[in-house]
Amino acid sequence: MDGNGRWAKQQGMARVFGHRNGVKAVRETAEASAELGIEYLTLFAFSTENWNRPAMEVNALMKLLVDTLSKEVETLNENDIRLEAIGDLDKLPAKSHKALLKGIEDTKTNSRMTMILALNYSARWEIVEAARKMAIEVKEGKLDARQIEDKTFENYLTTKNYPDPELMIRTSGEQRISNYLLWQLAYTELYFTDVLWPDFRKQHLYEALIDFQSRERRFGKTSEQLA
């Protein structure tokens, strides 16, 4: 969800104004995704590296998260959307952590779509954590190192209960992965748009999905093998 800061700057406003308007785009994207039958929507809301931003911006983002989660649980329930989160959640400020856990608890029986917030998340953190957990289990004799395969590794990732993403959308003209779901994106289609996140609306999601539909997903095979 990139481009909030630039969007605010264009309007002569503080960066936080962009984040606040980014919430509208989150609402539209979540609603449109659920309407279309998309089962999993993951939003990169705060990266491990985002702690390095000015304290004022970090605090405002954390407050925005608490306020939004408290306000939007009703909308999530109306849309039958279950909230979940990935990342180093224990290190979030206590208030944000509490609001997040409450949002997850209050929506846990919803089943139309799962909306996963990546919070205090970075893919390298996740991969290192998985390696650490596996190493400990090997040492304790609970895991046989010779039996470790792709599938084993996946079970130690924060996304173990979710399928790999089919499409990744990055806004604001940046064409990077920026430490996001590095393992899971192996065969994901990437879509980049110049639209700044606060301007992202249903129509932009539809454009991304139409583009996605024209892609040939070969998963390493040849075109002829797919026919």
Using CB under 6 A as the binding rule, whether residue 101 contacts ligand FPP is answered as no
Q: Residue 221 in contact with residue 180, Cβ under 8 Å?
A: no
Using CB under 6 A as the binding rule, whether residue 1 contacts ligand FPP is answered as yes
Q: How far is the CB of 180 from ligand FPP (least distance, A)?
A: 12
| Footprint (CB under 6 A) of ligand FPP, residues 124-183 | 172
Q: How many CB atoms lie within 10 A of CB 41?
A: 19
Using CB under 6 A as the binding rule, whether residue 65 contacts ligand FPP is answered as yes
3-state secondary structure of 45: strand
Task: Write the single-letter amino acid at 86.
Answer: I
Q: Residue 172 in contact with residue 2, Cβ under 8 Å?
A: yes
Using CB under 6 A as the binding rule, whether residue 85 contacts ligand FPP is answered as no
106 catalytic, yes or no?
Answer: no
Using CB under 6 A as the binding rule, whether residue 62 contacts ligand FPP is answered as no
- Cα gap 185→117, rounded to integer Å: 16
* Span of 4-12, 146-154, 155-163, 178-186 interacting with ligand FPP by CB under 6 A: 4-12
Q: How far is the CB of 37 from ligand FPP (least distance, A)?
A: 21
2 CB-side CA count, 13 A: 17
**Measured between alpha carbons, how far is residue 165 from residues 47, 132, 159, 160, 186 in Å?**
18, 24, 10, 12, 9
Using CB under 6 A as the binding rule, whether residue 79 contacts ligand FPP is answered as no
| Footprint (CB under 6 A) of ligand FPP, residues 9-48 | 15, 19, 22-23, 26, 43, 45
Using CB under 6 A as the binding rule, whether residue 87 contacts ligand FPP is answered as no
Of the candidates 227, 174, 41, 17, the residue with the CA atom closest to the CA atom of residue 117: 41
2 catalytic, yes or no?
Answer: yes
Which active-site residues does the annotation give? 2, 50
Q: Which residues bind ligand FPP (CB under 6 A)?
A: 1-6, 15, 19, 22-23, 26, 43, 45, 50, 61, 64-65, 68-69, 117, 172
